[in-house]
Amino acid sequence: MLTRKQHELICFIDDRLKATGVSPSFEEMKEALDLKSKSGVHRLISALEEREFIRRLPNRARALEVLRMPDRPVAKKPAAKPMATPRPTPQPANDVIELPLHGRIAAGVPIEAIEGQATLPVPAALLGAGDHYALEVAGDSMVEAGILDGDYALVRRTETARDGEIVVALIEDSEATLKYFRREGAMIRLDPANRSYDPQRYRPEQVRVQGKLAGLLRRY
């Protein structure tokens, strides 16, 4: 028989898994149960694990799987021990996806966009819906947007962009650059985020949007 807090916690975890496919964080569990510290969450998780209601997925932080559920709501009369309900394996918050790594992209003047066979492991939680790829940033023209030389730009494939979005722009089908996208009359303007660089202006037929910035990955 579970305590009230144990019952509340497994219901919260189960609801979150059904809604999003990922386990709630310990901070979210602490707030949901109105606990004073995360150590209380750890104790409840350990108790549920010992009773074989949940299990932790190995080598994956904060990834939990509900093995069986207690009666919901709690029955007023004694009930038979609930049978274990098979559940699909949840999508852990830190699953890793291997993204295609397509060479280096200029955050300064345009450089050649290199198509390579390398891949970059990226936590799935950093990506949203859509098809993605990665590019290594070269240059400093986007530093005021927090994009530094050596960062990895995580890019969602798309051929359209709105003014003010950071895009991968392919110029004359040979060079790629990472810039703010803007329309200026009949021209396309690619703006840097560094006062040391000037905007670049092109005719629309010279520029093809190859994707929009979806995230950054930085290695130390």
Structure-derived torsion over alpha carbons of residues 109, 198, 217, 29, reported in degrees to the nearest 10: -170
Nearest to 201 by CA among 102, 105, 110, 129: 110
Catalytic residue among 23, 30, 179, 212: 179
Cα angle, residue 80 at apex, residues 77 and 86 outer, rounded to 5°: 130
Active site residue 179: yes
Catalytic residue among 81, 141, 196, 212: 141
Separation of alpha carbons 73 and 105, rounded Å: 55
DSSP assignments along 32-92, one per residue: HTT-SSHHHHHHHHHHHHHTTSEEEPTT-TT-EEE-----SSPPSS--PPPPPPP-PPP--
Residues designated as active site? 141, 179
